[in-house]
Amino acid sequence: MDIKPILAALRHHKGGTALIALQIALTLAIVCNALFIIQQRLDRVGRPSGVQESDLFVIQNDWAQKLAPAEADARMRADLQTLRQLGSVQDASASNSFPLHGAGWDNFVRMSPDQVKMTTDSAIFFADEHTLATLGTRLAAGRNFRADEIGSQTGNDPLHARQVIISDGLARTLFPHGSALGKTIYTSNDQSPSTVIGITGTLQSHLTELWAQPYAYNAVLVPARLTGDSTFYLVRARPGQLVDAMRQAQDALYAQSRMRIIPADGGVMTFAQARQRAYDADYGMAILMGIISAVLLVITAAGIVGLTSFWVGQRRKQIGVRRALGARQRDILGYFLTENLLITLGGLLLGVVLAVALNLWLVIRLGSQPMSPLYLAGGVLLLLLLGQGAVLAPALKASRVPPVEATRSV
Amino acid sequence: MLKMTHLSKVYRTEVVETYALRDFNIDVKEGEFVAVTGPSGSGKTTFLTIAGLLETFTGGHYHLDGIEVSQLNDNARSKIRNEKIGFIFQAFNLIPDLNVYDNVEVPLRYRGMKGAERKQRIMDALERVGLASRAKHYPAELSGGQQQRVAIARALAGSPRLLLADEPTGNLDTQMARGVMELLEEIHREGATIVMVTHDPELAARAQRNVHIIDGQVVDLSEEPRFHAQNARVADA
C-alpha cells in the first residue's frame, strides 16, 4: 500500500486527524503510566510477609480501665496462658504490632552510640519466646529468646533490650559484608546497646506506605511485653481450626475477664483480613487505574470508529470512484487500515514523548519509580492493535461500497 | 469489443420488479465511436454501468474484449475495469484531496505499475489533454472543462481498450463542451473505442454510430441519421 496519496489526502483532514492522534497520544501516556502503577501496586500487594498467614489471627485487646504496668503485665500473661491452653490454638504471643498492621513503633537503628545519622529505620516488635512460632517465621541463624529473657515495659520507658532478634533484611542492611549474629546495634535514643542473638528469615515490617519501601523488611524483635492501654494477641490456630479458634479465643478472654474491649469491627481478624486492610489503598489505586485505562481505551476506540465511519460516509462516492478505477475490495480495506495506521503511529510517536514526560513528573514530584521501557512497548502494541481493531468494521463497510456508487449523484 | 445479447437487468423490491434493460442487444466493434441516446429513465446509464462492470446484470450474455464477464468474481471485474476500461463521468469524479497528478495516478497504482512508468504515463496523458502545467493543482483550483480534461487524462493514462463516457459534457458550457468533444474525437481517430452516453443530439451526431435506447431496449438509428436527430430532439424536449 502506497502511503504517499494517503498522506496527501490526510493533509486535507488535518482537524480530525490531529484530534484522533492527540487522543491516541494522551491515551498511550496515561495508560502506560497507569499500567506501571498497577504493576507496582500489585508487586507490593504480592510481597511475602515472612509470616505463615494461614491459621494465624489477631485479637485487638483494649483494657476497659487504666491498669498499673504490673497489673497489665499479669493480665497479659494470664491471657496468653488461657489462649495457649485452648484445644484449637497451637500457640499465642502478645505484641505492640505485627507485620502489615500499618501502625506501630519504628526506630532509627545505629551502628554506634554516638552516630548522629541513622543507618536505617526499623519496625520494633515486642516479642517473647513464642512469637516466632506463632508467626510461623523461621529462625535463619542464632537462637530464639528464652522465657527468662522476657521482660515488660511501658511505652514511656526507654527501650532497653540487651538481646534482640532481627530480620534478615535488616541484618543485610546493617552488615552487608558479614553476619550480624553477635554484633551490637543501637535501637534506642539512650545509647543502650543490643546484641543480635538471632536472625529470622524474611519478616516484613508493620509499615506498608510507599515512603517506607526501603525499610519494608526491617524488623527488630525485642524480648518484652509492652504494657499499656491495649495490646495485640497473635494467635496461631491448629491447622484447619481457624474459625473455631477465633470464636473460642474471644470467648475465653471474656471468660477470663470482662474488663476488656475487643472491638466488634476488626477486633478479631484473620491475617488474610489484615493483609487486605493493609493493601486496601493499593487495591483501590490498581482498580482505579484499571478503570481509567479501560475507559480511555474504549473512548479512543470509539473515537477511531466514529471518525472512520464519518469519513467512510463522507467519502462514499470517492470509494465508488476508486472501485470504478480498478480498486479491489481489499485495496479499499487496506486504504483505511493504512490511513488509520499512519494516524495511530503519529499519535503513538507523540504519546511516547508524553508518557516519558508524565513518568518523569511522577518520579520527580511523587517519588515514583522510573517506568520500564517495556510498558511503553506494551502500550504501543496495545494501541496499535486497538486502533486496527477499531477501524476494521468501518473499513470493511467501506470495502463493500459498490463501484456503481461512482455514477450516483450526491 | 463490447457485445451484449439478450441482456436484462431487473431491480427487485418486495412488491415490484422493474426492468431497466430488457432483451438488450448491442455490438460495438473495436475502434467504433458509438453515441448512446435516449430519454431519461430509458436505461442509458444502466447500460453504461453494466458495460463498465460497475454492476452486474440479471440475465443474458456480455462479452467484453472476448471475455464472458457474467461469471467473473469481484477481483477479476476490478482487474478488467482497471486494465481495459477508461471512465469519463459527467461529474468528473476527481478525488478532491488529491492533486491533478495524484488523481491521474490512481488507476495506475491499482495496477501495481512501477513509479517510473507511472510518471511517464501520467505526464504523457496530461500533455495530451494540455494540462501538464497544472499537475500540482487541486481539482477545486480548475475550471469544469479542465477538470473533465483531467478525468480524460486519468482514463487515458491506463491505455484502456474501451472508453466509456457518461454525459462527458453535461456539466460544461458550450465552449468547454466543444473542447472536450474535440478531444474525444481526436482520441477516437487514434484508434480508441468509445461509447458515449449523451442527451445532446449535436454531440451524438458527431459519433460514428448512434444507438437509441427506449424502455430498456435498443433502437439502432445508424441508417437514419436525420430521423435520429429529430427523434433525439423530441426526446430531449
Give per-residue pLDDT as tens, A23-38: 999 999 999 999 999 9
Torsion sign across C-alpha atoms A116, A117, A119, A121: positive
Phi, then psi, of A22 in degrees rounded to 5: -65, -40
A407 and B97 in contact by Cβ < 8 A?
Answer: no
pLDDT of residue A11: 86
Give per-residue pLDDT as tens, B36-66: 999 988 999 999 999 999 999 999 999 999 9
How far apart CA A102 and CA A104 sit, in angstroms, is 7
List of chain A residues whose C-beta atoms are within 8 Å of the C-beta of residue B74: 328-329
Q: What is the pTM of this model?
A: 0.77
pLDDT at A6 over 60: yes
Give per-residue pLDDT as tens, A377-387: 999 999 999 99
pLDDT of residue A340: 94
pLDDT at A153 over 60: yes
Mean pLDDT of A177-199: 91
How far apart CA B105 and CA B119 sit, in angstroms, is 8
How far apart CA B124 and CA B138 sit, in angstroms, is 19
pLDDT of residue A407: 86
Range scoring the smallest mean pLDDT among A341-350, A365-374, B141-150: A365-374
Question: Residue ranges per domain, chain A?
Answer: 4-45+282-407, 65-258
- Contacts of residue A175, Cβ cutoff 8 Å, sequence gap at least 6: A183
B81 and A317 in contact by Cβ < 8 A?
Answer: no
> A329-366 and A280-314 are packed helices; what angle lies between their axes, rounded to 10 degrees?
150
Give me the percent of chain B exceeding a pLDDT of 70: 92
Q: What is the CATH number of the domain that holds B225?
A: 3.40.50.300
Q: Which of A272, A369, A365, A290 is nearest to A45 (CA)?
A: A272
Amino acid at B219: V
List of chain A residues whose C-beta atoms are within 8 Å of the C-beta of residue B53: 403
How far apart CA B19 and CA B36 sit, in angstroms, is 18
A317: nearest CA in chain B? B93
How far apart CA B186 and CA A294 sit, in angstroms, is 63
Mean pLDDT of A147-165: 90
Rounded mean pLDDT of chain A?
93
Give per-residue pLDDT as tens, B106-134: 999 999 999 999 999 999 999 989 999 99
pLDDT of residue A77: 95
Give per-residue pLDDT as tens, A246-290: 999 999 999 999 999 999 988 999 999 999 999 999 999 999 999
Give per-residue pLDDT as tens, B70-86: 889 999 999 999 999 99
Phi, then psi, of A19 in degrees rounded to 5: -60, -45
Residue A345 burial by Cβ neighbours in a 10 Å radius (0-12, 13-18, 19+): middle
Element (H, E) at A310: helix A280-314
Give per-residue pLDDT as tens, B91-103: 999 999 999 999 9
Residue B237's pLDDT band, with cuts at 50, 70 and 90, is: very low
How far apart CA B123 and CA B138 sit, in angstroms, is 16
Q: Which domain holds residue B80?
A: 2-236
pLDDT of residue B179: 85
> A280-314 and A271-278 are packed helices; what angle lies between their axes, rounded to 10 degrees?
50
* Shortest CA gap A325–chain B (Å): 5
* Three cell numbers written together for A274: 489484615
Residue B235's pLDDT band, with cuts at 50, 70 and 90, is: very low
Measured torsion, CA atoms of residues A136, A140, A146, A147, in degrees rounded to the nearest 10: -10
- Contacts of residue A290, Cβ cutoff 8 Å, sequence gap at least 6: A34, A38
Beta bridge partners of A234: A58, A93
How far apart CA B216 and CA A211 sit, in angstroms, is 85
Give me the percent of chain A exceeding a pLDDT of 70: 99
List of chain A residues whose C-beta atoms are within 8 Å of the C-beta of residue B97: 8-9, 11-13
List of chain B residues whose C-beta atoms are within 8 Å of the C-beta of residue A327: 78, 110
List of chain A residues whose C-beta atoms are within 8 Å of the C-beta of residue B156: none
Q: Which of A215, A138, A125, A120 is nearest to A164 (CA)?
A: A125
- Decide: A95 and A243 in contact? Cβ < 8 Å: no
pLDDT of residue A410: 53
Write down the number of H helices and E strands in chain A.
Answer: 11, 13
pLDDT of residue B222: 52
Residue B220's pLDDT band, with cuts at 50, 70 and 90, is: low
Beta bridge partners of A233: A59, A94
How far apart CA B45 and CA B87 sit, in angstroms, is 13
B166: nearest CA in chain A? A407
List of chain A residues whose C-beta atoms are within 8 Å of the C-beta of residue B78: 323, 326-329, 331, 403
- Classify each residue of A38-65 as buried b or exposed e, where b means 16 or more C-beta atoms within 10 Å of its C-beta: bbbbeebbeeebbbebebbbbbbbebee
Q: Give the best residue of B45, B87, B138 to mutate against chain A (max A CB count within 10 A).
A: B87
Question: Which of B55, B96, B110 lies nearest to residue A404, judging by beta carbons?
Answer: B55
Integer-rounded Cα radius of gyration of chain A? 32
pLDDT of residue A375: 95
Q: Provide residues of A within 8 Å CB-CB of chain B.
A: 2, 4-5, 8-9, 11-13, 317-318, 321-329, 331, 402-404, 406-407, 409
pLDDT at A391 over 80: yes
B89 and A409 in contact by Cβ < 8 A?
Answer: no
* Shortest CA gap A409–chain B (Å): 8
- Decide: A384 and A44 in contact? Cβ < 8 Å: no
Start-to-end Cα distance in chain A: 28
Question: Which of B79, B89, B98 lies nearest to residue A8, judging by beta carbons?
Answer: B98
HEC profile for chain B? CEEEEEEEEEEECCCCEEEEEEEEEEEECCCCEEEEECCCCCCHHHHHHHHCCCCCCCEEEEEECCEECCCCCHHHHHHHHHHHEEEECCCCCCCCCCCHHHHHHHHHHHCCCCHHHHHHHHHHHHHHCCCHHHCCCCHHHCCHHHHHHHHHHHHHHCCCCEEEEECCCCCCCHHHHHHHHHHHHHHHHCCCEEEEECCCHHHHHCCCEEEEEECCEEEECCCCHHHHHHHHHHHHC
Residue A13 per-residue DSSP state: G
Residue A68 per-residue DSSP state: -
List of chain A residues whose C-beta atoms are within 8 Å of the C-beta of residue B102: 4-5, 8
A330: nearest CA in chain B? B75
Give me the percent of chain B exceeding a pLDDT of 90: 68
pLDDT at B151 over 50: yes
Question: Which of A11, A318, A331 lies nearest to residue B95, judging by beta carbons?
Answer: A318
How far apart CA A108 and CA A130 sit, in angstroms, is 26
Rounded mean pLDDT of chain B?
89
The size of the A-B interface in CB pairs under 8 A is: 84
* Shortest CA gap B74–chain A (Å): 7
B154 and A12 in contact by Cβ < 8 A?
Answer: no
A5 and B109 in contact by Cβ < 8 A?
Answer: yes
Amino acid at A69: P
Give per-residue pLDDT as tens, A207-227: 988 788 889 999 999 999 999
Beta bridge partners of A261: A62
Residue A58 per-residue DSSP state: E
Residue B190's pLDDT band, with cuts at 50, 70 and 90, is: confident
Integer-rounded Cα radius of gyration of chain B? 18
B110 and A317 in contact by Cβ < 8 A?
Answer: no
B49: nearest CA in chain A? A404
pLDDT of residue B230: 40
- Contacts of residue A392, Cβ cutoff 8 Å, sequence gap at least 6: A337
Strand A219-227 versus strand A163-166 pairing type: antiparallel
* Shortest CA gap B136–chain A (Å): 12
Residue A8's pLDDT band, with cuts at 50, 70 and 90, is: confident
